[in-house]
């Protein structure tokens, strides 16, 4: 039986129109790239989780703005648990940002050691899997939100 996994994900876009993705290396699986974000903590709502994940994974303490998209997907988590993820997306636009990994969890330090600001052309041409699969459509369909 799949475990429910409510999660907040961030479409973090810089002034050059690039989107930040993290590369995951999970033993026994092909490498893949995902947007910043993660599961909600107990009692946390989606916007609070988005703000926390942005701080933990990137080092930015910013308002995530409004929810811009929702995806429900079944997958195997990096911990090896079959989940049905209810992912809510938030778009945050910044002039620029350097990733500060100081807030990464022990698990993130093991499986999420690399990140890259992808141009749209790089997303299209990248040989490794990128989630969500419709990332470029999401970016086209969402309005920029300049966080305070």
Reading the block at residue 143, the tokens are 């309005």
Residue 83: predicted pLDDT: 96
SS3 state at 134: coil
Residues 57-95 have pLDDT tens digits of: 999 999 999 999 999 999 989 888 999 999 999 999 999
pLDDT band at 148 (very low <50, low <70, confident <90, very high): low
DSSP code, position 2: P
Indicate whether 42 pLDDT > 70.
yes
Distance, C-alpha 62 to centroid of its chain: 15
Residue 107: predicted pLDDT: 86
Tell me the DSSP string of 87-103: EEEEEEE-S-----GGG
The whole-number average pLDDT for the span 25-44 is: 95
10 Å CB burial of residue 127 (0-12, 13-18, 19+) is exposed
Residue 85, preceding peptide bond in cis (omega within 30° of 0): no
Indicate whether 17 pLDDT > 90.
yes
Task: Kindly list the domain boundaries of the chain, sorted by start residue.
Answer: 3-141
Residues 104-129 have pLDDT tens digits of: 989 899 899 899 999 999 999 999 99
CATH number of 3-141: 3.90.79.10
């Amino acid at each position: 039986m799949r475990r429910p996994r409510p999660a907040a994900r961030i479409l973090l876009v810089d002034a050059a129109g690039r989107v930040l993705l993290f590369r995951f290396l999970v033993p026994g699986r092909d490498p893949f790239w995902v947007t910043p974000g993660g599961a909600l903590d107990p009692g946390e709502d989606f916007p609070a989780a988005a703000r926390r994940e942005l701080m933990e994974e990137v080092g930015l303490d910013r308002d995530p703005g409004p929810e811009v998209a929702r995806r429900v997907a079944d997958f195997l988590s990096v911990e090896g648990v079959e989940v049905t993820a209810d992912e809510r997306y938030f778009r945050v636009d910044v002039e620029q940002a350097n990733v500060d990994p100081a807030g990464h969890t022990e698990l993130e330090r093991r499986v999420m050691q690399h990140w890259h600001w992808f141009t749209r052309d790089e997303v299209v041409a990248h040989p490794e899997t990128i989630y969500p699969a419709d990332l470029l459509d999401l970016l086209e369909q969402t309005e920029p939100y300049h966080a305070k």
